[in-house]
């Protein structure tokens, strides 16, 4: 299979492309959601041992979710730089240690999104967190002990991956 034509079907907050895909002698029409490149991190406070996640309203499921702090990578920005920025904006923490867990395609059948998932250790809060008003973010930090984190039920795939990674390292 190979893409033989690509047109922008919609470009707003996100982009949607119309693709023509050559599959042998057949030509298939497909749409591809192109939200960009994202980062997320499972955050652990080294002083308290607590894990810090983010609660916010998500438009996809139309409800609040508790998930990893996350955000988009700006053009030309490295994922590690982006996650440090996002953790400061969303949770108010400076990162002491950062380790990449995985680089994933959360829905490769219809989306070009790539998420780099990190584990971050923090020890000091230097800002208020809560997200940026200019991005209409209202984020609440939620703390979990290791036992609470490992027994909680999450609906977000990147969070499930990071929690399973942490369980395996325990």
How many structural domains does the chain have? 2
Same domain, yes or no, for 28 and 57? no
Same domain, yes or no, for 12 and 72? no
- CA 70 – CA 54 distance, rounded (Å): 9
pLDDT at 36 over 90: yes
- CA 107 – CA 84 distance, rounded (Å): 25
Same domain, yes or no, for 108 and 26? no
111 pLDDT band, cuts 50/70/90, is very high
Same domain, yes or no, for 67 and 114? yes
- CA 41 – CA 61 distance, rounded (Å): 21
pLDDT in tens, 39-84: 999 999 999 999 999 999 999 999 999 999 999 999 999 999 999 9
Helix, strand, coil shares, percent, the chain, to 5: 20, 50, 30
> Is 77 part of any known ligand binding site?
no
Same domain, yes or no, for 17 and 83? no
Same domain, yes or no, for 20 and 92? no
Helices in the chain by DSSP H: which ranges?
79-91, 146-151, 157-169
pTM here?
0.92
2 HSE (CA, 13 A, CB side) = 3
Domain of residue 51, CATH code: 3.90.79.10
Averaged pLDDT of the chain: 95
Same domain, yes or no, for 122 and 44? yes
Percent of the chain scoring above 90 in pLDDT: 92
pLDDT at 136 over 80: no
92 pLDDT band, cuts 50/70/90, is very high
pLDDT at 131 over 90: no
DSSP characters over 39-53: EEEEEEETTT--EEE
> Among all chains, which residue has been given the structure tokens 């002491």?
96
Same domain, yes or no, for 23 and 68? no
pLDDT at 133 over 80: no
> Is 29 part of any known ligand binding site?
no
Same domain, yes or no, for 21 and 75? no
Domain membership of residue 155 as a residue range: 36-169
> Is 143 part of any known ligand binding site?
no
DSSP state of 164: H
Predicted local confidence at residue 37, as pLDDT: 97
pLDDT in tens, 139-161: 999 999 999 999 999 999 999 99
- CA 23 – CA 110 distance, rounded (Å): 17
- Give the alpha-carbon dihedral of 147, 43, 97, 106, to 10 degrees: 110
């Amino acid at each position: 299979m190979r893409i033989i034509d690509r047109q922008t079907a919609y470009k707003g907050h996100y982009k949607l492309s119309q693709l023509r895909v050559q599959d042998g002698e057949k030509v298939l029409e497909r749409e591809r959601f192109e939200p960009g490149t994202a980062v997320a991190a499972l955050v652990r406070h080294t002083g308290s041992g607590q894990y810090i996640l983010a609660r916010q309203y998500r438009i996809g499921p139309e409800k609040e979710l508790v998930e990893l702090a996350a955000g988009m990578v700006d053009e030309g920005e490295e994922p590690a730089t982006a996650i440090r920025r996002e953790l400061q904006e969303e949770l108010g923490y400076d990162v002491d240690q950062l380790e990449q867990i995985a680089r994933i395609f959360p829905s490769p059948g219809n989306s070009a999104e790539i998420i780099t998932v990190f584990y971050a250790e923090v020890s000091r809060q230097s800002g208020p967190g809560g997200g940026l008003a200019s991005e209409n973010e209202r984020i609440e930090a939620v703390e979990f002990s290791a036992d609470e984190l490992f027994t909680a039920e999450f609906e977000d795939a990147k969070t499930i991956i990071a929690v399973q990674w942490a369980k395996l390292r325990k």
